[in-house]
Amino acid sequence: MQIISSKQELLSKVEVCKQQHQSIGLVPTMGALHEGHASLVSRSVKENDVTFVSTFVNPTQFNNKEDLAKYPRNPQADADLLAALGVDYMFAPAPEEMYSADEMATTFDFDFAGLDQVMEGKMRPGHFNGVVQVVSRLFYLVRPDRAYFGEKDFQQLCIIHHMVERSSLKDTFGNLQIIDCPIFRGADGLALSSRNARLSEEERDLAVNISRVLFMSRAWAKAHTVKEVEQLVTDTINSLPGLEVEYYQIVDATTLQPATTFANAVGCVTVYCGPVRLIDNIKY
């Protein structure tokens, strides 16, 4: 596996792949890789001739600079894992390699068609502007045939689909396929996340209750309304010391607008486990 740190070198490697008519898979990440990332990477390696994985901690999607500073980083472990999985290229640029000073200081402007006005977008203003900024740049640089994203970040995944399939940028990306990959959970049900590394052992045990309550809510949905299930999930998680729900919303899986029935519905939750902010979701 080769580690690339400059855009120019990345463009050169991509051009060679294109000249040889090799299919390209891309897995955008922010490093601190775990088994969930590995499942995406393994699928890309299997389905494409060449796989690129980015491990760039994107500063423009953090509205909280303290959160950016605390985001876990372990580049050597990331490189070892990706090499073992058969990745061809790891792209690990510095922020100044990805963005000019003006780009770092200016909010990326994009028409989200309202997808950014709820849940994570509401709680983290500007977050998705940064996500679209970095993902669109990676797509432009790598020109992948397929790009792989996990369903744990469900709102993000909807926005990526909008960007590629329905926005003014869609013609830029050719026939790029966005591949949705299921949430990867530990044996106890906890959704894997790089942020889990910040949990103490006690907090880790407590965080398991997030997915347990979500799974329980499927049974509640058979006898309760959407609003009642939202309240049941929120109250049940909040009743556990150390957990605090920031939001739990059941939304239409396509529009992300509040659902009125459980048809095509997804329940999305953000919970503080101690100081660590965790997200999860469940399909009804």
Q: Report how far residue 188's alpha carbon sits from residue 142's, in angstroms, rounded to the nearest whole number.
A: 36
- Give the active site residue among 34, 37, 127, 162: 37
Closest-CA residue to 119 (of 154, 150, 151, 86): 154
262 in Cβ contact with 226 (< 8 Å):
yes
Question: How far, in Å, CA of 139 to CA of 135, rounded?
Answer: 6
Task: Considering only the C-alpha atoms of the chain, give the largest distance between any 2 of them, rounded to a whole number of Å.
Answer: 59
Residue 168 φ then ψ, to 5° = -70, -10
Burial class (CB in 10 A: 0-12, 13-18, 19+), 175: exposed
From start to end of 67-201, where are the E strands?
89-91, 146-150, 177-181
Give the C-alpha separation, 280 to 153, whole Å.
8
Q: How big is the chain, counted in residues?
A: 284
Taking each continuous run of H as one helix and of E as one strand, the counts in the chain are: 11, 9
37 belongs to the catalytic site: yes
Q: Answer for the pair 218, 281: CB distance below 8 angstroms, yes or no.
A: no
Active site residues: 37
